[in-house]
């Protein structure tokens, strides 16, 4: 049996211990562990990296604390519009959706696009129609309502501001600080197949159908057995500009770099140069993992079958 590895993230940004209550910290750590365990269990049973990624992301989407699925932020119109993508590094198959509403688990819809449409990327109403046709689980608007997200949005809805967000900051800090949501997972299974997935509600108060990097193959999500699987979180516009996830793969493929070195260049150098705050998680086909960010914290966890496991929030 080969080495297998699971890694997840729940967003990055100005996440500081002093802003956190012990109860909230505990809830985040519990949420991360539940998702990590769900993904790892798939790998342990000999399942595929795609199924492991999906299992972990579904748990994070169902958790109100994270900006994806149920905990998604409010748009300018006071709705939730969600984006997600999944990619299989063995076949280079991919599926993605953006601007979808009322879909309980957008990552499942992205997988459905990958497996059962002739397309890769569906948007808005068309993606929702496809969800209905395929029998994907839908939920009413109330399912997506959370008081703290509503309060965040209320603070800025009458302005042209938008906010890359996390959850727990004091409202007066919301406009000044950048905190990012989004969830993601990457996995390498015991056959050396890698996969990546990312799911997000995007930015609080977003308008004009704004889409970030998360569902864009190559920007926020990418997987290729020859190199790596990557899921990003952070200021999406910047990640799109540097084609962040694919750039890691290119540095590995064309320059022969290790996963760790390639991710370090993209996150700590290329993104920093254009004020691209955030981070990413990655695995390569040998089961090595890296979790790298250029801001105060990233909700993150990883585990492999050689006994390494960690769940962390802040810089160590």
Residue 235 Cβ vs ligand ASP, minimum distance, rounded to whole Å? 6
Q: Which of residues 46-85 bind ligand ASP (CB under 6 A)?
A: none
180 makes contact with ligand ASP (CB under 6 A)? yes
Residue nearest to ligand ASP (CB): 236
DSSP string, 205-263: T--TT---STTSBTTTEEE-TTSEEEEEEE-HHHHHHTTHHHHHHHHHHHH---HHHHH
Q: From CA 69, how far away is CA 61, in angstroms rounded?
A: 4
Residue whose C-alpha is closest to residue 11's, from 38, 26, 31: 31
200 makes contact with ligand ASP (CB under 6 A)? yes
Q: Which of residues 233-272 bind ligand ASP (CB under 6 A)?
A: 233-234, 236
* Contact indicator for 217, 120 with CB cutoff of 8 Å: yes
Q: Of these, 35, 85, 164, 186, which contacts ligand ASP (CB under 6 A)?
A: 164
Alpha helices (H) in 64-170, listed in sequence order: 106-116, 124-133, 147-156
Residue linked to tokens 């290790």 = 258
Residue 208 Cβ vs ligand ASP, minimum distance, rounded to whole Å? 14
* Contact indicator for 54, 108 with CB cutoff of 8 Å: yes
Q: Which is nearer to ligand ASP, 259 or 298 (CB)?
A: 298
181 makes contact with ligand ASP (CB under 6 A)? yes
Q: Which is nearer to ligand ASP, 42 or 57 (CB)?
A: 57
Active site residue 227: no
214 makes contact with ligand ASP (CB under 6 A)? yes
Which residues neighbour 67 within 8 Å (Cβ) at sequence distance 6 or greater? 11, 73, 165, 166, 167, 180, 181, 182, 183, 200, 201, 202
Catalytic residue (choose from 182, 221, 227, 233): 182
Q: Which is nearer to ligand ASP, 208 or 254 (CB)?
A: 208
Total length of the chain: 316
Stretch in the footprint of ligand ASP (CB under 6 A) among 56-64, 89-97, 123-131, 197-205: 197-205
Q: Catalytic residue positions? A: 182
Please report, as ranges, the residues that interact with ligand ASP according to CB under 6 A.
11, 164, 180-182, 200, 202-203, 212-214, 220, 233-234, 236
């Amino acid at each position: 049996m080969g080495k297998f590895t699971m890694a997840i993230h729940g967003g990055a940004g100005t996440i500081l211990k002093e802003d956190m209550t012990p109860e909230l910290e505990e809830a985040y750590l519990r949420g991360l562990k539940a998702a990590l365990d769900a993904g790892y269990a798939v790998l342990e049973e000999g399942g595929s990296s795609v199924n492991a990624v999906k299992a972990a992301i579904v748990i994070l989407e169902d958790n109100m604390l994270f900006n994806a699925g149920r905990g998604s932020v409010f748009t300018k119109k006071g709705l939730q519009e969600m984006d997600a993508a999944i990619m299989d590094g063995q076949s280079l198959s991919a599926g993605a959706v953006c601007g979808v509403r009322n879909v309980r688990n957008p990552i499942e819809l992205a997988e459905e696009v990958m497996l059962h449409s002739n397309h890769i990327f569906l948007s808005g109403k068309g993606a929702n129609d496809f969800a209905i046709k395929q029998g994907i689980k839908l939920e009413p608007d109330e399912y997506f309502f959370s008081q703290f997200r509503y309060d965040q949005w209320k603070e800025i809805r009458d302005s042209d501001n938008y906010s890359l967000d996390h959850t727990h900051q004091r409202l007066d800090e919301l406009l000044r600080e950048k905190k990012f949501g989004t969830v993601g997972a990457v996995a390498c299974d015991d056959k050396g197949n890698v996969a990546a997935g990312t799911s997000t509600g995007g930015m609080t108060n977003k308008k004009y159908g704004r889409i970030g990097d998360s569902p864009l193959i190559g920007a926020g999500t990418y997987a290729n057995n020859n190199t790596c699987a990557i899921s990003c979180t952070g200021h999406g516009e910047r990640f799109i500009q540097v084609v962040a996830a694919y750039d890691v793969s290119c540095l590995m493929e064309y320059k022969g770099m290790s996963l760790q070195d390639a991710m370090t260049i993209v996150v700590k150098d290329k993104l920093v140069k254009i004020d691209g705050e955030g981070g990413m998680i990655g695995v390569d086909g040998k089961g090595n993992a890296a979790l790298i960010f250029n801001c105060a914290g990233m909700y993150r966890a990883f585990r492999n079958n050689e006994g390494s496991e960690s769940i962390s929030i802040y810089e160590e």
